[in-house]
Structure 1
Amino acid sequence: MTSTEHTGGPTRPRAAWTPAGVEHLDATTVVRTERVTPGMCGPNSLFASRLGDWTWDAVTAATGTDVYDAHNEDGAPVYLSFSYFRIRGSRTLHPLSLRFGDRLQVVSGVFGEGSESVLTLHRVRRDDGFAARPLDPVAFHTRPDPGDLRVENFNRWIARGRDGSNKGLVRAAPVGFDHRHLPVAPRRFSARAACARARRNGTFLDGPPTGHEAVVTGFTVDYPVEASRDLNGVGLLYFASYFAMLDWALLRLWDRLGRGEREFRDRTVLDQRICYLGNADADTTIRLTLTLWRNARDPAEERVEATLHDLGRDTALAVAELKVTGGGPGRRQGMRSQP
């Protein structure tokens, strides 16, 4: 059992290791101030990677479990894997708008999802010198400040199966993971439910987006997983590599539409979410299939849906959806389907 620390309200387990730069606002909410460095901006995947680190830090601080060094009862490593990752930006603050030296205030709230899962919400904004306030999950979803960048991470504890590969991962909570004190987020905003629908239906959408016209359907590209770039330090296909693969495929779709590289870099990512359905080894080829819709009233706004499929095993690895705006003068009317 972990010891507890009194905070003037609810108690939180005392962590054996405290992440640097993290301060508690209450028992399950932490704040940090970050300066944007070259290693966290530019490609979309770099910022997603840093957000993942902040999630692990927040869960460590809120639960007392050292997420970076967690084990099951047999002593085998246990990892806090990403099942659902959503980043909602605005035209004033989104992942591609970050520049060297920007200062950010990050408030992270950790919520209970049972003994094998956890939900973390991040509210990211430019640091204006004002004191951080606790995170209200209802306001987070319904009353965001125009300058907020909002992030949802739903994570599950996993371990490798008996064969030791990335294709037989199993659920496994670490020893000492204390979740009973964590608040529960309103179920109507459930990330678990959103991911379950995507897993069940192979899509986040109930049908074509209202008010949008299909520009491209069935665009496919094949991505060979590389051990030299796509795996993390424990040999798993890194969660942020999925973001990189999606951008890699999107750039090729934009090229097919006659759009330039500069327009690709200047796009605004208003919303992006991924439901992770599986992992893969380094010898895997992943097929990405993209569909693009354009807003009939605002042609600069587009939505893209993508699926990631393991060709060798014929299994789904992820479902993704993006909402982007921008494109500039180089955009041309696109094709209706891939030849």
Structure 2
Amino acid sequence: MTTTVRTELIRPGMCGHNSLFAGQVGDWTWDAVGEACGTDVLRARSAAGTPAYLSFYYYRVRGSRRFHLRSPAFGDELHVASRVFGFGSESVLTLHRISRSPEAAAEPIEPEGFYAFADPDSLYVENFNRWVSRTAEGSNEGLARSSPPDFRYRHLPVVPEEYSPRHAYVRARQQLTFLDHHGDRPGAELTVDYEVDPSRDLNGAGLLYFASYFSIVDRALLLAWRGLGRDDRSFLDRVVVDQQLCYLGNADAGSPLILTVRQWLRGGDADSEAFDVVLRDKGTGRLLAVCSLQLETGTSE
């Protein structure tokens, strides 16, 4: 079975003005892959016997003004449909459609319908994951692809090439943005220093947690927000209708990072703006992540 449906009651540890909900969806991805591929994702090991991690390489959240990444609140009942697609022996794509109605969750996930993003009352999430292992004990640099031997993938459906996430993340690697900025006007630009926080940013395996990248991006965005003369209340009220993040490297606790934030005013649309955030290792310049966010700033539907 490559499709799973679940009903979840949103609790305090699953939502908020932080990365908790992004992390929760990531847990659902691991659940879906484990069930579809017959692999104990939590305790997977490579052929060499070292721990293998289903790392996040590309994460996209597409919503609307009515339902976006920070919409879930205490007590909400959400219905989650997830379907796993194959990308060979070392990678896997999971599509989630998160809705408030069980009827919407019961509809089959087909790429053509999913990528139409047609339902403003659903949240559409793409997670593209790769199996990796450490190449040096105690270091988060130089992670290598490493699939567990019991990872079953040949039975998984394949998305049509036009919907492959490779088109998005290759663009991000090459151009440091997911967006076509033709017709956009450049706005403010800000450079932010950040140090990987060992008390907050690491997961249970000692890696820089994939959801922490969302928080690090938001920290840089907040500083850019304030630099534009906006207050914190408006930052909390922001509506991010599309966020794409490509993970290109990991980092150790205490590592100094440098983030570049660029604002874009969308061509002719007073109610829309975008930001690109690029994360690098400050000492080496090594590219760690690229993130693009599209925001609705007006009040119209």
Provide the TM-score with structure 2 as the length reference: 0.95
- Paired residue for 1:170? 144
SS at match of 2:19: helix
Matched AA of 2:198: A
Shift of 1:193: 2.8
Per-residue Cα deviation, 1:110-134 (whole angstroms, up to 9, x for no partner) = 0000000000000011135676122
Shift of 1:88: 0.3
Shift of 1:144: 2.4
Q: Return the alpha-carbon distance in structure 2 between the equivalents of residues 89 and 129 of structure 1.
A: 18
SS at match of 1:230: coil
Kept after mapping to 2: 8 A contact 1:264/1:327? no
Q: CA RMSD in A?
A: 1.6
Alignment of 1:1-339 (within 5 A): 27-128=1-102, 132-142=106-116, 144-206=118-180, 208-210=181-183, 212-217=184-189, 219-326=190-297
Q: 1:154 to 1:62 in 2, by over 3 A?
A: same
Q: 1:241 to 1:327 in 2, by over 3 A?
A: farther
SS at match of 1:58: helix
SS at match of 2:106: coil
Q: 1:171 to 1:128 in 2, by over 3 A?
A: closer
Q: Return the alpha-carbon distance in structure 1 between the equivalents of residues 53 and 110 of structure 2.
A: 27
Shift of 1:40: 1.4
Per-residue Cα deviation, 1:83-141 (whole angstroms, up to 9, x for no partner) = 00000011111112221111111000000000000000000111356761221111100
Q: Return the alpha-carbon distance in structure 1 between the equivalents of residues 298 and 226 of structure 2.
A: 12
Matched AA of 1:213: R
Larger Rg: 1
Q: Return the alpha-carbon distance in structure 1 between the equivalents of residues 34 and 140 of structure 2.
A: 24
Q: Return the alpha-carbon distance in structure 1 between the equivalents of residues 29 and 45 of structure 2.
A: 18
Q: Return the alpha-carbon distance in structure 2 between the equivalents of residues 131 and 70 of structure 1.
A: 29
Q: How many residues align?
A: 299
Q: 1:90 to 1:165 in 2, by over 3 A?
A: same
Q: Return the alpha-carbon distance in structure 1 between the equivalents of residues 117 and 296 of structure 2.
A: 22
Kept after mapping to 2: 8 A contact 1:267/1:327? no
Shift of 1:198: 1.6
Per-residue Cα deviation, 1:228-279 (whole angstroms, up to 9, x for no partner) = 0000001000000100001111111111111111100111110001011100
Kept after mapping to 2: 8 A contact 1:111/1:183? yes
Question: Where has structure 1 moved over 6 Å in runs of 4 or more?
Answer: none
Q: 1:186 to 1:36 in 2, by over 3 A?
A: same
SS at match of 2:125: strand
Shift of 1:209: 4.1
SS at match of 1:95: coil
Per-residue Cα deviation, 1:42-77 (whole angstroms, up to 9, x for no partner) = 124111100100000000111110111100122210
Per-residue Cα deviation, 1:168-207 (whole angstroms, up to 9, x for no partner) = 210000021110000001111111232122223333245x
Matched AA of 2:187: V
Matched AA of 1:252: L
Per-residue Cα deviation, 1:204-230 (whole angstroms, up to 9, x for no partner) = 245x343x322213x111111111000
Gaps of 5+ in 2: none
Q: 1:74 to 1:125 in 2, by over 3 A?
A: same
Gaps of 5+ in 1: 1-26, 329-339
- Paired residue for 1:336? none
Kept after mapping to 1: 8 A contact 2:2/2:83? yes
Q: 1:164 to 1:130 in 2, by over 3 A?
A: closer
Matched AA of 2:131: W
